[in-house]
C-alpha cells in the first residue's frame, strides 16, 4: 500500500516559523513597544473590546412587533424577538432576530456578527438571512447604529437602529437613485431581560 508523507508543505512550515518568531519577538519587547504593535493579539483584542462596548445597551433579550413590506405591496405583521450578546471574551457581538406571524409560525430568522477591525479602524457586520449572506457597511451612532445592503441596480436597503429608554426601534428604507427613500421595514422591541447567550453554556474542560 502506498504511503503518504506527513511532512508539512514548505509554505505551511514557513508560516508557522514566522508566527513563532513573531510571538517570541513580542515577548521580548518592552510593554510600551508592545502597546504600539498592531500585530500583538492583546493590543487588537483590547481595541475590539473598547470599540464594541459602545453596543452594550443592546445586550439582552427583546420582544415586540415588526412589519415588513411584501412584494405585493401589503404589510406582513410580525411578533419580533431579538437576542444580542458578547462572544470571544467581549471581542465580538452576536445578534439573532426572529419574526413570528399571528399563528406563531417562524416567518423570518436572521443572524449576524458585529466586529471591530483594527486594521481599518472600522466596524464590520456580517449577516445571514433567508438564504443570503453578506458583509455590510456598519456605522455607530450616538443613539444606535446604521447598516445597509445592496438592493438591486443603484439601490440599497438602509436600516437605522435607535435605542432609547429600553426601547429598540429600527427602520428599513429602500434608497434608490433619483427616488425618495421608501420605508420597507419597521420594528419596535422592548428589553425583557438579560441573556447569557451566546457565551453561556460553553463546554468546559470537565
pLDDT digits (tens, 9 = 90+) for 14-50: 444 444 444 444 444 445 545 567 779 999 999 999 9
Q: Are 114 and 55 in contact (CB under 8 A)?
A: yes
Q: Are 98 and 83 in contact (CB under 8 A)?
A: no
- What stretch of H or E contains 22? helix 10-27
- How many of the other CB atoms lie within 10 Å of CB of 145? 20
Please give the Cα distance from 198 to 206 (Å, whole number).
20
Please give the Cα distance from 149 to 172 (Å, whole number).
11
User: Mean pLDDT for the chain?
Assistant: 87
Low-confidence winner among 26-30, 71-75, 128-132, 134-138 (lowest mean pLDDT):
26-30
Please give the Cα distance from 63 to 193 (Å, whole number).
10
Domain boundaries of the chain, sorted by first residue: 12-51, 55-193
Q: Are 116 and 52 in contact (CB under 8 A)?
A: yes
- CATH fold, domain 55-193, is Lipocalin (2.40.128)
All cell numbers assigned to 169: 426601534
Amino acid at each position: 500500500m502506498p504511503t503518504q508523507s506527513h511532512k508539512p508543505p514548505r509554505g505551511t512550515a514557513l508560516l508557522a516559523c514566522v508566527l513563532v518568531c513573531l510571538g517570541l519577538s513580542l515577548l521580548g519587547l518592552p510593554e510600551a513597544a508592545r502597546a504600539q504593535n498592531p500585530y500583538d493579539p492583546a493590543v487588537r483584542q483590547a481595541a475590539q473590546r473598547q470599540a464594541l462596548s459602545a453596543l452594550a445597551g443592546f445586550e439582552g433579550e427583546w420582544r415586540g412587533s415588526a412589519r415588513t413590506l411584501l412584494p405585493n405591496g401589503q404589510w406582513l405583521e410580525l411578533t419580533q424577538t431579538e437576542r444580542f450578546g458578547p462572544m470571544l471574551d467581549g471581542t465580538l457581538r452576536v445578534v439573532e432576530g426572529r419574526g413570528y406571524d399571528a399563528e406563531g409560525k417562524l416567518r423570518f430568522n436572521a443572524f449576524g456578527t458585529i466586529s471591530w477591525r483594527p486594521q481599518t479602524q472600522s466596524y464590520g457586520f456580517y449577516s445571514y438571512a433567508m438564504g443570503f449572506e453578506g458583509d455590510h457597511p456598519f456605522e455607530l451612532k450616538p443613539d444606535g447604529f446604521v447598516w445597509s445592503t445592496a438592493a438591486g441596480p443603484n439601490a440599497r436597503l438602509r436600516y437605522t437602529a435607535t435605542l432609547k429608554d429600553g426601547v429598540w426601534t429600527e427602520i428599513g428604507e429602500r434608497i434608490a437613485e433619483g427616488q425618495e427613500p421608501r420605508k420597507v421595514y419597521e420594528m419596535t422591541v422592548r428589553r425583557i431581560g438579560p441573556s447569557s447567550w451566546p457565551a453561556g453554556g460553553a463546554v468546559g474542560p470537565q
